[in-house]
Amino acid sequence: MTESPASFPALNYTTARFLTSAPTLAQCPEDSGTEVAFAGRSNAGKSSAINALTQQKALARTSRTPGRTQLINYFGLMNGTSQRLVDLPGYGYAKVPEAVKLEWQHHLADYLRGRNTLRGLVLLMDVRHPLTEFDQMMLGFADKRDMPVHILLTKADKLKKGPANASLQKVRSQLREWEDLVSVQLFSALKKTA
């Protein structure tokens, strides 16, 4: 597995600006251009990763309470093209009613199956708890669409170097069958290290 997928579109992330939020696929912006979506459990640090990647402190809203991202949030890259980053609702951990979780999962599945402009997925997993059932479901969606996935094993600063590297190697080993589509790396938004 490579460190970064060669098939991801080249993007200038630092030009990102908030565009809009949509509760459903039907309310998303026009399905044209190129999108890279960020997905992960509610406490995986998606918003923090987007802020670190774009070198902006508050582009994506962060919270101490998991599950605050409840809409599909779009960030446009202001480079004369229709390239977008998409912050998807988190799954799994959020302390919200079960009916709300199921509705989020339904909209997430609609987006992943039905969005033609989606060209790549950045899947965030807590380095201490990778490859949950939901993570594997996301990989399944990407596999069906033959879409590249880059996995960020977040919160790498919470582990010492040896255990963090052991988790990285374990994930790479478990995903060997998808090595043509999947790449993986350690990541810490706090320390801005990858």
pLDDT of residue 104: 72
Residue % of the chain over a pLDDT of 90: 49
Task: Fill in the amino acid letter for 38.
Answer: F
pLDDT in tens, 138-173: 999 999 999 999 999 999 999 999 999 999 999 999
What band does 5 get if pLDDT is binned at 50, 70 and 90?
very low
Residue 128 burial (CB < 10 Å; 0-12/13-18/19+)?
middle
What is 13-186's CATH topology? Rossmann fold (3.40.50)
Position 135 pLDDT exceeds 60:
yes
Residue % of the chain over a pLDDT of 70: 85
Position 43 pLDDT exceeds 60:
yes
Of 24-38, 61-75, 105-119, 162-176, the range with the highest mean pLDDT is 162-176
pLDDT of residue 10: 58
Match 């999108």 to its residue by tokens: 35
Q: What are the tokens at 142?
A: 């990407």
Task: Single out the residue of 142, 153, 154, 152 nearest to residue 180, CA to CA.
Answer: 142
Q: Give domain limits for the chain.
A: 13-186
Contact 36, 11 (CB under 8 A): yes
Query: How far is Cα 66 from Cα 43, in angstroms, rounded to an integer?
Result: 5
Between the CA of residue 73 and those of 28, 97, 192, what are the distances in Å? 9, 21, 23
What band does 96 get if pLDDT is binned at 50, 70 and 90?
low
Cα atoms in the 13 Å half-sphere on the side-chain side of 124: 27
Bridge-based pairing state of the strands 182-186 and 149-154 = parallel
pLDDT in tens, 47-90: 889 999 899 988 987 655 544 557 889 999 987 778 999 998 87
Q: What are the tokens at 184?
A: 């993986």
Query: Considering the entire predicted model, what is its pTM?
Result: 0.86
Of 49-53, 94-98, 188-192, the range with the highest mean pLDDT is 49-53
**How many other C-beta atoms can be found within 10 angstroms of the C-beta atom of residue 144?**
10
Contact 91, 42 (CB under 8 A): yes
Query: How far is Cα 157 from Cα 176, in angstroms, rounded to an integer?
Result: 25
